Structure 1
Amino acid sequence: MTRRDMILAAGVAAAWGLNFLVIDGGMGGIPPLLFVAVRFAVVALFIVVVPRPAASWRTIVGVGLFMSLGQFGLLYTSMALGLQPGLAALLLQAQAVFTVVIAAGVLHERPTPSQATGVVLGVVGLGVVAAGRGGEAPAITVALALAAALSWAIGNVISRRAGIVTGRGRWGALSLTVWSATVVPVPALVLAVAVDGPLAVSAGLAAFGPAAALSTLYTAGLCTLVGYAVFNGLLARNPSAAVVPWVLLAPVVAMVAAALLLGDIPTPAEIGGGALLVMGVLITAIPPRTRRRLPRSVRGTAAAGDAAAVDNVRGQPVVRD
């Protein structure tokens, strides 16, 4: 990666990490599911400029229900019930571990030894974090955050099963994100009315002030639309193995920012368990190097130094964050 691309990758990770603090700061007095509905209504507006992804409506709906509604509905609810932003960012990274496990059962993708090691480290890290969480993080909030990570992982597997390549091309993951966002607002609003009641939803809409509006613009505009656009560009110019590890800066940024700005000091168990979880995610995220016997014509080209020809035959792994 060039220095410019490394700066862009670090910037996207920082924006995604601060996202958790921005959500926490803008949600005061607003039912979490209503906040989710508004966020994805803003994202869905961009279907007028973003082309539809090469996917069936069944896949788009599935991704919208699990990767968007399920993930963020559960995440926002856990934070509304008191989960600290830094811990929320960390627990959500469990999606990578869950994705490997679910893909093994549903898609029959046998984990590599390194991926199996990463899953074990991730599970141990989660156990340490859950056992040593601070007193201000009720068990139900941790469970909801892990359920959000599980929902994200299911969305990942739905996308993989449909054979959608979301990390390449002009629009990449952004097109699937925008179009699947159309699935979210109505169900989220219905759930908000069912869970919190119509009076609470009405009061939440009345309380939707500048802080909530800025939070929505940040999460929908900067993190989703701009963030994915930049991230897709990085994936198009660099191997996934060089780009994906930068995403693991997000929970670090979130935890450091929460400690400095909100006074949420992580416990030693959260730090140690978080380090194990991040290490496990890193191991599972980096694709293994595989050796394939290439056609003779390509082997000759590769010997002459044409690395691009080799990449076209081997294929580049893609990752959707």
Structure 2
Amino acid sequence: MTTLTSGTLTRTALTAFAPAVWGTTYVVTTELLPAGHPLFAGLMRALPAGLIALAVTRVLPRGVWWWRAAVLGVLNIGLFFPLLFTAAERLPGGVAATLGAGQPLVVAVLAVGVLHERPSVARFAWGLAGVAGVGLVVLGPAAGFDTAGVLAGLGGALAMALGVTLTKRWGRPAGAGPTAFAGWQLTAGGVFLVPVTFLAEGAPPSIDLPAVAGYLWLGLAGGLLAYVLWFRGIGLLPVTSVAVLGLLSPMVAALLGALVLGQELGPVQLAGFALALTAMVAGQLPHER
């Protein structure tokens, strides 16, 4: 019987903090942030947090890690953030979350092609079960399918999946801890977003006190702390196990929808929660082909 050690459980729990916090993005975006500025929201989430990490660690990339950090920063941050916020603004949270839940399936495919892992039927099966569970939780008869929003949601899942897989393939250089590693990527992604944001959206929006609170939460908890734990987890755990933890994000989003926005969770949604949780737990266990 396959079991998880206490050390693995601790590492998994710490890594799971990241997608759990990311699940707050939907309610923070819709309730606190100024509408119509997804790129600016991504910029505010990435660049300040990255600069704080660099100031604290004082460790810069060396050699090939300049371009590797840039590539990872664009995939994990620079592309993923604006696509995430665009999907969150243009789609009901449930639709956006279900599209994002397909990330473990993409990672399972990339693990075969990029990491040369053996294909696993169990990984694909549990990945599909996770998407189905999330769909039951968050999709309803009134779900809308704005084309641009759907493309943004799919693009975000693909960018993040490739970024996670390359992060696992390249590892982390000696002398760079998780905070420095996260800082490189957050800064690279933020720098990428600066010209894109101002070309696409123009001047920054007016920011009131609730928006300040929202940006601080997304930047410090959802950016700096979450990505330090996320990249640490990618280095210590199997990449497919880390990816399936992403199912926590839409589940937390649905719970917050019920608690904060008064959205109902009926028997179908509860069954979806059970299915998604089962898929997430099963995804932490080693699988044979």
- State whether TM-score is above 0.5: yes
> TM-score, normalized by length of structure 1?
0.68
**1:3-26 Cα shifts (integer Å, max 9, x gaps):** xx69x7586665343243223333
Distance 2:140 2:65 in 1: 41
Is 2:97–2:250's contact at 8 Å kept on the other side of the alignment? yes
Instruction: For residue 139 of structure 1, report the CA deviation from its aligned partner.
Output: 4.1
Instruction: For residue 215 of structure 1, report the CA deviation from its aligned partner.
Output: 1.3
Amino acid at match of 1:48: A
> TM-score, normalized by length of structure 2?
0.74
Distance 2:245 2:115 in 1: 27
Amino acid at match of 1:222: A
**1:67-93 Cα shifts (integer Å, max 9, x gaps):** 111211111011121432x55445423
Return closer, same or farther for 1:193/1:273 CA change in 2, 3 Å cut-off: farther
| 1:152 aligned onto 2:160 | yes
Task: Return the match for 2:186 from 161, 174, 181.
Answer: 181
Tell me the C-alpha RMSD between the 2 structures. Answer: 4.1
- Give 1 or 2 for the bigger CA radius of gyration: 1
Return closer, same or farther for 1:239/1:36 CA change in 2, 3 Å cut-off: closer
Which residue of structure 2 aligns with residue 190 of structure 1? 195
Amino acid at match of 1:29: A
Distance 2:99 2:56 in 1: 34
Return closer, same or farther for 1:270/1:58 CA change in 2, 3 Å cut-off: farther
Amino acid at match of 1:81: R
5+ long unaligned stretches in structure 1: 291-321
Is 2:21–2:222's contact at 8 Å kept on the other side of the alignment? yes
Which residue of structure 1 aligns with residue 42 of structure 2? 36
Is 2:245–2:280's contact at 8 Å kept on the other side of the alignment? no
| 1:57 aligned onto 2:63 | no
Return closer, same or farther for 1:233/1:284 CA change in 2, 3 Å cut-off: closer
User: Any idea what SS the aligned residue of 2:79 has?
Assistant: helix
**1:274-318 Cα shifts (integer Å, max 9, x gaps):** 76555445444433489xxxxxxxxxxxxxxxxxxxxxxxxxxxx
Task: Return the match for 1:71 from 80, 87, 90.
Answer: 80
Return closer, same or farther for 1:155/1:270 CA change in 2, 3 Å cut-off: farther
Is 2:19–2:248's contact at 8 Å kept on the other side of the alignment? yes
| 1:106 aligned onto 2:105 | no
Distance 1:195 1:226 in 2: 28
Task: Return the match for 1:25 from 31, 43, 48.
Answer: 31
Instruction: For residue 221 of structure 1, report the CA deviation from its aligned partner.
Output: 0.7
Which residue of structure 1 aligns with residue 145 of structure 2? 138
Amino acid at match of 2:192: P
Instruction: For residue 105 of structure 1, report the CA deviation from its aligned partner.
Output: 2.5
Q: How many residues align?
A: 276
Is 1:133–1:269's contact at 8 Å kept on the other side of the alignment? no
User: Any idea what SS the aligned residue of 1:208 has?
Assistant: coil
Distance 1:102 1:232 in 2: 18
Is 1:13–1:247's contact at 8 Å kept on the other side of the alignment? yes
Return closer, same or farther for 1:155/1:148 CA change in 2, 3 Å cut-off: same
Is 1:133–1:270's contact at 8 Å kept on the other side of the alignment? no
Aligned identity (percent) is 24
